Amino acid sequence: MLQQHTLDQLRGLRLDGMIAALNDTALQASAEALPFEQRLALLVQRELDWRDGKRVVRLLKAAKLKVSGACVEDIDWRAGRGLDRHLVTALTEGDWIRHGRNVLITGATGCGKTWLGCALAQQAARQGFTVLYTRSTRLLQELQVAHGDGSFGRRLAQLARLDLLVLDDLAIAPIAAQERQDLL
């Protein structure tokens, strides 16, 4: 009875990580020998891990990555691809995002630019950055519509709040003067 009441209270407080930890019988068995402070610390850590996991899932869903399964751990380092391991490793740390720098990935058609961009974006989301993937033509069309319906300023403000904007297929077609201005 007390256990169910406690679980209901935790649910009311939205402490789902702690609920999962309390329901984990393997964790309960190993934690019984621990002092109260260590058991409490274990529960708090499970809650933090739970929230962090939910945050990453939310950020990845909002990112709308074209290749959602792309991750930096799966990068193909074959010599023919011409990837600089030290550069890519430095990019995965995210300092370029923190400092407001841009990255331009270039290469032949089919060499994996989109995949690499999505892998870097996923890594950024795992580090807590807000990310959005879009094709540049789609973004430019959205901005053109936003000019027409008066929501351009609001859309720019939404884009400005992002930590990372991945523009795929940039400049594969001529860009009009207004579109260039919008990108600036």
What are the residue ranges spanned by the domains of the chain? Answer: 4-62, 65-183
Q: Name the CA dihedral angle for 156, 169, 67, 65, rounded to a multiple of 10 degrees.
A: 0
Summarised one tens digit per residue, pLDDT across range 133-152 is 999 999 999 999 999 999 99
Q: Which residues of 64-82 are buried (b: 16+ CB within 10 A; e: fewer)?
A: ebbbeebbeeebeeeeeee
The C-alpha angle 141, 131, 151, rounded to 5 degrees, equals: 35
Summarised one tens digit per residue, pLDDT across range 6-44 is 888 888 888 888 888 878 766 676 777 788 888 888 889
pLDDT at 1: 41
* Residue that is written with structure tokens 């319906």 in the block: 149
Q: Are 114 and 66 in contact (CB under 8 A)?
A: yes
pLDDT at 154: 95
pLDDT at 72: 92
Share of the chain above pLDDT 90, in %: 54
Summarised one tens digit per residue, pLDDT across range 71-116 is 999 988 886 778 889 999 999 999 999 999 999 998 888 888 899 9
Q: Which residues of 90-106 are buried (b: 16+ CB within 10 A; e: fewer)?
A: ebbebebbeeeeeeebe
Q: What is the mean pLDDT of the chain?
A: 89
pLDDT at 25: 67
Can you say whether the dihedral through the CA atoms of 154, 157, 119, 124 is positive or negative? Answer: negative
Summarised one tens digit per residue, pLDDT across range 124-133 is 999 999 999 9
Q: Quick one: pLDDT band at residue 172, thresholds 50, 70, 90?
A: confident
Report the alpha-carbon distance of residue 90 to residue 95 in Å, rounded: 8
61-68: average pLDDT: 94
| Beta-strand pair 164-168/131-135 | parallel
81 Cβ contact partners less than 8 Å away, ≥ 6 residues apart: 111, 112
pLDDT at 82: 81
pLDDT at 18: 85
pLDDT at 26: 63
Adjacent-strand bridge partners of 131: 164
Class (C level, CATH) for 65-183:
alpha beta
Helices 36-63 and 16-23: crossing angle in degrees, nearest 10, is 120
pLDDT at 40: 84
